[in-house]
Amino acid sequence: MKENFNVAEEFGVDVFNNHVMKLRLPKNVYKNLKSAMEGKSELSLEDADSIANVMKNWAVEKGATHFTHWFQPLTGSTAEKHDSFISAPDSEGRIIMEFSGKELIKGEPDASSFPSGGLRATFEARGYTAWDCTSPAFIRHDGTGAILVIPTAFCSYTGEALDQKTPLLRSMDAINEQALRIVRLFGNTSSKTVTPSVGAEQEYFIVDRDKYLQRKDLIYTGRTLFGASPAKGQELDDHYFGVIRERIGEFMRDVNQELWKLGVSARTQHNEVAPGQHELAPIYAQCNIATDNNQLTMEILKKVAYHHNLVCLLHEKPFEGVNGSGKHDNWSLTTDDGINLLNPGKTPHENIQFLLVLGAVMKAVDTHSDLLRESAANVGNDQRLGANEAPPAIISIFLGEQLEDVINQLIDKGDATSSIQKGKLHTGASALPDLNKDATDRNRTSPFAFTGNKFEFRMVGSSDSIAPANVVLNTIVAESFKEIADELENAEDFNMAVHDMIKKLFTEHQRILFNGNGYSEEWAEEAHRRGLPDIKNMVDAIPALTTDKALKLYEQFGVFTKTELLSRAEIKYEAYKKTVNIEAKSMLNISSKQIIPAVISYTTELANSIAAVSEAGIEPTTQKAILADVTENLNAMYKAQTELKEAVEKGATITDPKEAAHFFRDTVSAKMKELRDPADRLEMIVDKEYWPFPSYGDLIFEV
């Protein structure tokens, strides 16, 4: 941590950004690169050589010895392999630092050990990484030295996407093309591109590293598999927005400095609802850059925590009984000349283009809510979604009072003639100013909320990539735009046609709107009545990827081929099975080697006490009662442990990924719970001196 860190000077110092490129690249090469970044032309090998050379010189000046193609395989995290810039030694044994255009543009990592979902056999190892020139290269300083990191996409020898980024870039092309058709309908001839803007708020937990190292469950699975609730949880709401503790503050300060140097515009930080939980939000950026930046943010959070002898837990539900962590994906559409298509203005009822875009989003989300739900499905998120905290598992849209009123006017009267205006907030104290109110309150229980000039998709898990969610959003809205533009471009009377179209969109898709409490039982019942899907877990979400509807959607925009979708579904089933399997085996390990032996030691102490007290001629009533209680739970644990072991063994024999995922969800998970319950009860009875690892209270309150 630097004491006098000058943010304006240090921001982006380790990034090969536009400023550096403009300064260092030959003029014509810079021009060609810009044109390639805008997707207008391809870069020649000559230009690539020139860029690579300039990039290498810049990186070497900053101490870099290696470069890497950085990509996002379907593991949820990032991957990289480092190559140094050194050339083969000359006849005198000396080397120079080299980096060619070919090396910049294309890499060839062995693809066989990354998840491919049947797309590749292990003997077919070739895969390629391709430079994403729209996301800037940067230098990472850490234990390995300084490395030039080049963001890339990753695909197989036959061109199938093996990563998160390729479909994301494809979906950005799709929405760009279709959104331009929409703005052209309204006479806009000046905007040249429409890009999704994304800001991802990141939640995380921080625990002390020494305590973490005593918890095998955290080490192996990222979450606690045992643990009784502490005496105090989050019920007092005293952590949320509370004063940030000194040790955490120092950590946050370091995180910010590291992120700023990497050009990530970390902006907001605060304590979250659960004790030990915090949040970081950046300023929004172009979709693919925001995705890369979020991966970097997770990486930096973990790395910096380590330096402070802390551990950052990105798991969606590290602790039972307190809130889990998510990632709010804020999404809007921006033209290159700065128009936000989701900005309603002061009088939304008069903003026809906005209403049309709003209708298009409603249609998209209503038609493809299963895909949106699937995009947020990962094993950790199963512990969180719908569990009375983060958004419910049912997808609905919150628009707020003002927009719902406009929509109702349109549906009921055929015309919208007014917008509810924002009022003044009277604070009632003469020393305080009266405040301008927003036209609409917020709703934090909605999974997909309109928040003024953007939508906030709140389902994504805290450890997950935001790429899949944005692939879905971009593509489903592109489809809506396409269907709308196909019709309106041919309309004889545009004004009439667009009015009818908006009314039709609102009428047909109003069932997706919900302004009430998304956590309530009544909403679940109402949603079922409306026929909205209620997909409760990851295993049930996966089939959405391969329906005819999904296939038609993705194929028409070239975002995914059928083979790619099938492979992604298979990868997810496998990931589910493997993750639960690791959790189950970790539980067996902890229970048989740590908890049961500790409890047995404690029973011995109790038994000794009973014998000693009896010998003294007094009836040891309490000791006997405790011993009976402990023994009963110990027996229950041992029984559940044996059954869980059998279930895991049976699961290992199931080869079909889908069938295995079902088995692990239904049978193995149930046995895991049966093992946990008596163990957590025992934690409350057994002398703390005997308990083999730190408790919830130790972990979340004592950082």
* 642: partner contacted, choices ligand ADP, Mg ion, none (Cβ within 5-8 A by kind): none
CA–CA distance, 457 with 365 (Å, rounded to integer): 11
Residue 153's beta-bridge partner residues?
130
Report, in Å, the least distance between residue 516 CB and ligand ADP.
19
Both structure tokens of 112: 């066989």
Q: Is 354 in the site for ligand ADP (CB under 6 A)?
A: no
Report, in Å, the least distance between residue 37 CB and Mg ion.
30
Q: Applying CB under 6 A, which of residues 226, 284, 319, 576 lies at the interface with ligand ADP?
A: 284
The radius of gyration of the chain from alpha carbons, rounded to an integer in Å, stands at 28
Nearer to ligand ADP, 281 or 647 (CB): 281
Q: Which stretch binds ligand ADP (CB under 6 A): 244-252, 446-454, 572-580, 627-635?
A: 446-454
Give the DSSP H/E element, type plus range, for residue 131: strand 127-131
Report, in Å, the least distance between residue 449 CB and Mg ion.
9
Report, in Å, the least distance between residue 254 CB and ligand ADP.
20
Q: Applying CB under 6 A, which of residues 50, 68, 234, 451 lies at the interface with ligand ADP?
A: 451
CA–CA distance, 220 with 213 (Å, rounded to integer): 10
Nearer to ligand ADP, 438 or 487 (CB): 438
Q: Is 453 in the site for ligand ADP (CB under 6 A)?
A: yes
Both structure tokens of 668: 């193995």
Q: Applying CB under 6 A, which of residues 330, 335, 375, 383 lies at the interface with ligand ADP?
A: 330
Residue nearest to ligand ADP (CB): 199
Strand segments, DSSP code E, in 371-514 are 397-398, 424-425, 435-436, 448-450, 455-457
Residues 549-608 that bind ligand ADP (CB under 6 A): none
* 73: partner contacted, choices Mg ion, ligand ADP, none (Cβ within 5-8 A by kind): none
Q: Which are the contacts of 131, defined by CB distance < 8 A and separation ≥ 6?
A: 69, 104, 105, 106, 150, 151, 152
Q: Is 516 exposed, middle or buried (0-12, 13-18, 19+ CB in 10 A)?
A: middle
Nearer to Mg ion, 328 or 482 (CB): 328
Phi, psi of 393 (to 5 degrees): -75, -10
Q: Applying CB under 6 A, which of residues 167, 282, 400, 518 lies at the interface with ligand ADP?
A: 282
Q: Is 293 in the site for ligand ADP (CB under 6 A)?
A: no
277 closest CA partner among 330, 236, 314 = 314
Number of residues that bind Mg ion (CB under 5 A): 1
Residues 625-654 that bind ligand ADP (CB under 6 A): none
Q: Is 335 in the site for ligand ADP (CB under 6 A)?
A: no
Q: Which residue is associated with the tokens 């850059």?
A: 289
Nearer to ligand ADP, 403 or 569 (CB): 403
* 283: partner contacted, choices ligand ADP, Mg ion, none (Cβ within 5-8 A by kind): ligand ADP
Q: Is 283 in the site for ligand ADP (CB under 6 A)?
A: yes
603 closest CA partner among 642, 638, 643, 633 = 633
3-state secondary structure of 327: strand
Exposure pattern of 152-174 as b/e (b: 16+ CB <10 Å)?
Answer: bbbbbeeebbbbbbbbbbbbbeb
Q: Which stretch binds ligand ADP (CB under 6 A): 134-142, 451-459, 512-520, 595-603?
A: 451-459
Q: Is 435 in the site for ligand ADP (CB under 6 A)?
A: no
CA–CA distance, 376 with 467 (Å, rounded to integer): 10
Number of residues that bind ligand ADP (CB under 6 A): 16
Q: Is 199 in the site for ligand ADP (CB under 6 A)?
A: yes
Q: What is the DSSP letter of 471?
A: H
* 199: partner contacted, choices ligand ADP, Mg ion, none (Cβ within 5-8 A by kind): ligand ADP
3-state secondary structure of 486: helix
CB under 8 A, 24+ apart: contacts of 526-529: 527/394, 527/396
* 114: partner contacted, choices ligand ADP, Mg ion, none (Cβ within 5-8 A by kind): none
Report, in Å, the least distance between residue 328 CB and Mg ion.
5
Residue nearest to Mg ion (CB): 328
Report, in Å, the least distance between residue 696 CB and ligand ADP.
29
Strand segments, DSSP code E, in 422-552 are 424-425, 435-436, 448-450, 455-457
Is the separation of the CB atoms in 365 and 372 below 8 Å? yes
Residues 314-373 that bind Mg ion (CB under 5 A): 328
3-state secondary structure of 113: coil
Q: Is 281 in the site for ligand ADP (CB under 6 A)?
A: yes
> Which residues lie near Mg ion (CB under 5 A)?
328
> Which residues lie near ligand ADP (CB under 6 A)?
197-199, 201, 268, 281-284, 330-332, 340, 451, 453-454
